[in-house]
Chains A and B, each alone.
Chain A
Amino acid sequence: MGVPAVVAALQGRKAIVAKLGMDAHWRGAIVVANALRDAGMDVVYLGHTLAADLVAAVEQEDPVLVGLSTLSGNHLAECDQVMTAFRAAGLDDVVVVAGGTIPPRDQVELVALGVDQVFGVGSPLAHIVEQVSALVTARQHLRVPAEAPEPHSARSVVLDYL
């Protein structure tokens, strides 16, 4: 294990981090958001987001990665709503991962719902960065090349949705 460093496959790419339902714990989401930023990503932290709002955010921001965080036990129902909304909107080129207090048996169910990977309690940041890098690279062929985005502050983007 080591401290996350800039990862070429992630550098300059956009990630959205969101909290599910009403779960109140931000520590894990913010720590992982920091790690993704240190790995070179442009991270938009949305906070609590309903599935429909998350779809709108993904359509506008076109991230390569969406990270969903929850520690309250609501993961099965919430991820089901998010993945259903993503499928309905045709968002199949974005990598979706989930993390938090998620027991192993539920991790299997989340993958069945369409979540690409689940990071349970104790997942090292280096492992998370390595895995999302591989997932983003593998999903690359589905993405339509986009024009270079306008630079902006993450904060101004967040406010658009809230």
Chain B
Amino acid sequence: MTQEMTTASGVPLPPVAGPDHVAPDLAARLGEPGGFPFTRGIRPTMYRERPWTIRQLAGFGTAQDTNVRYRMLLDGGSTGINGVFDYPSLRAFDSDEPRAGTDVGRGGVAVDVRDDFDALFKAIPLDEVSVSLVSSQPIGAVAHLAMFVRSAERQGFDRRRLAGTSQNDFLMETAITIAPEALPPAGSFRLACDLADFALRELPRWNPVSVSGYNYREAGADATLEMALCLAHGQAVARELVRRGHRPEAALSRISFFLCAHNDFFEEVAKYRALRRMWARWVRDELGVTDPRAQLFRYHVQTSGVTNAARHAHVNIARSALQGLAAVCGGTQSLHLNGYDEAVCIPSEHAAMTALRTQYVLLHETGVAKVADPLGGSHLVEYLTDSLEERAASVVRVVDGLGGIVAATEQGWVHSELAGTAYADQMAIETGESLVVGVNTHLEGDDEEMALFELPGGTLERQTAQLEAVRSRRSSAAAAAALDAVASACRSDANTMPSVLAAVDADVTLGELGRVFRDELGRWEFPLW
């Protein structure tokens, strides 16, 4: 075939790859699994040593509702918790705010006060099970972590034993997801780093930032932009934590990443491999860090939601399985597969359990977990790994030229890049350049009936009743004083986390904390249109 072809992200593809497509000195670019530059994986024997963490995302209704789902997934073989919050909770609005009502418990669990975290993690051994808090936006993440820590301590867990992750990504707040009254990029980044600084000092098993390439990709990025934004953002966090006095080794060993598994199988495998190599080299060359534990690019993967179709939704099981296969062949540390119904609703119990069982098909049945970096040395995969590295590095240079990731966001560059690629992607589907089963090809046949997820009845009423009960039992003077202390911390150079922990003890609500952050750090109209 003589027709020109490219990967999903535009890397030119030869009809067949051979030795000529692989640059010289491959051995130096690969190293061994578990050795610099970690192209082949972060551990010598990868999944023989430790399977990836099976971390299925869950969250809806009230904390009581979601606790039941968490326990169902753990009983069914999940090995970690991946907890998502509703939009008001992510954005630090209380459930009884006028604009919050219709979203309470949708797309995630509703939380307002520390008591909600008691209910959310009831009967879950927090010193054994690691918990990923998908607190994507720093304004919510700071308060969620404070509530989580104080709730766990009340239940008798030592904070130094708590293992997990806060997503805590300022790009989520300022470019990727939209919300009324977003913080400006600098304020959001400051809160993210306050959380990270606190975790480095007090929570030795906590990953305080999970740089969310997954969401950059879902908002419109291609593989190259996903990589570049991850690198530029991760580097900014590392530099800031070093500036705040942390040893580079300590800061680096706690920054983690969250990546997408999209459709283009070999490109995705190459993406993971290239990112490990680029991160390790940057750590060594810019920060001069030679401790291998601090050079590791560690990440969680979620299969791509935007690739899923509403029509013939059961076909999404195949999409998620193939995307998950790419994630595992690429050496992920942790994985979520999407439910087949996520193009129409949040996962039903059946969809969630099917996705969980599909993870065990990958682990037990395909055989791909037995050998580290199974595609290493493939002419095509090495060519793509090198190509993506080169392309992503050039985009990182663009971001650096704009003054770094925070400045690039302030200037609207990130928004413009994402919106441009999102529109181009859709145009490729419109013209038939991209063929998607159930969207622009193979449309025939009746659509399937699915049992759709139903939000538990009375979610808003139950949630707001609990919130009101906490407000009426607390000392309003103590709550007001605690909020004043948070405002003072915002105005100073001090870390805001200690004041937020104290506020949580005074039963201050998430929305009250959010209002203080917005008043003190600003409200931003981001340049999306």
Chain A residues packing against B (C-beta within 8 Å): 1-4, 19-27, 30-31, 33-35, 43, 45, 47-48, 50, 72-74, 77-78, 81, 101-105, 120-122, 124-126, 154-155, 158-159, 162
B528 partner, pick from A4, A45, A102, A103, beta carbons under 8 A = A45
Please indicate the chain B residues that have their CB under 8 angstroms from the CB of A81 in the complex.
Answer: 102
B91, B309, B430, B525 pick with most chain A CB within 10 angstroms: B430
Known contacts A22-B87, A22-B88, A78-B102, A124 near B429 by CB under 8 Å: yes
Q: List 12 A-B contacts (CB under 8 A).
A: A21-B103, A22-B93, A22-B100, A27-B218, A27-B306, A31-B422, A47-B528, A102-B344, A103-B344, A103-B452, A122-B343, A124-B429
Kindly state the interface size class of chain B when it binds its partner: 35 or more
Known contacts A23-B87, A77-B101, A31 near B440 by CB under 8 Å: no
- Distance between A72 CB and nearest chain B CB, rounded to angstroms: 5
A33 partner, pick from B91, B306, B346, B529, beta carbons under 8 A = B529
Please indicate the chain A residues that have their CB under 8 angstroms from the CB of B219 in the complex.
Answer: 25-27
- Measured in the bound complex, the distance between the Cα atoms of B177 and A68 in whole Å is 17
- Measured in the bound complex, the distance between the Cα atoms of B184 and A112 in whole Å is 40
Per CB-CB distance, the 9 closest pairs between chain A and chain B, nearest first, are: A24-B177, A121-B310, A45-B529, A22-B87, A74-B102, A77-B102, A73-B106, A21-B102, A22-B103
- Distance between A146 CB and nearest chain B CB, rounded to angstroms: 24
The reply to whether the CB of B472 lies closer than 8 angstroms to some CB of chain A is no
Contact status A73-B345, CB under 8 Å: yes
Contact status A31-B423, CB under 8 Å: yes
The reply to whether the CB of B246 lies closer than 8 angstroms to some CB of chain A is no
- Distance between A33 CB and nearest chain B CB, rounded to angstroms: 7
Please indicate the chain B residues that have their CB under 8 angstroms from the CB of A20 in the complex.
Answer: 102
Please indicate the chain B residues that have their CB under 8 angstroms from the CB of A22 in the complex.
Answer: 87-88, 91, 93, 99-100, 103, 179-180
Contact status B528-A26, CB under 8 Å: yes
- Measured in the bound complex, the distance between the Cα atoms of B429 and A72 in whole Å is 24
B98, B422, B432, B440 pick with most chain A CB within 10 angstroms: B422
Interface 0/1 of B412-426, CB less than 8 Å to A: 000000110011001
- Measured in the bound complex, the distance between the Cα atoms of B102 and A21 in whole Å is 6
Closest A residue, CB atoms, query B420: A34
Closest B residue, CB atoms, query A52: B98
Contact status A24-B178, CB under 8 Å: yes
The reply to whether the CB of B23 lies closer than 8 angstroms to some CB of chain A is no
Contact status A122-B103, CB under 8 Å: no
Contact status B422-A124, CB under 8 Å: no
The reply to whether the CB of B220 lies closer than 8 angstroms to some CB of chain A is yes
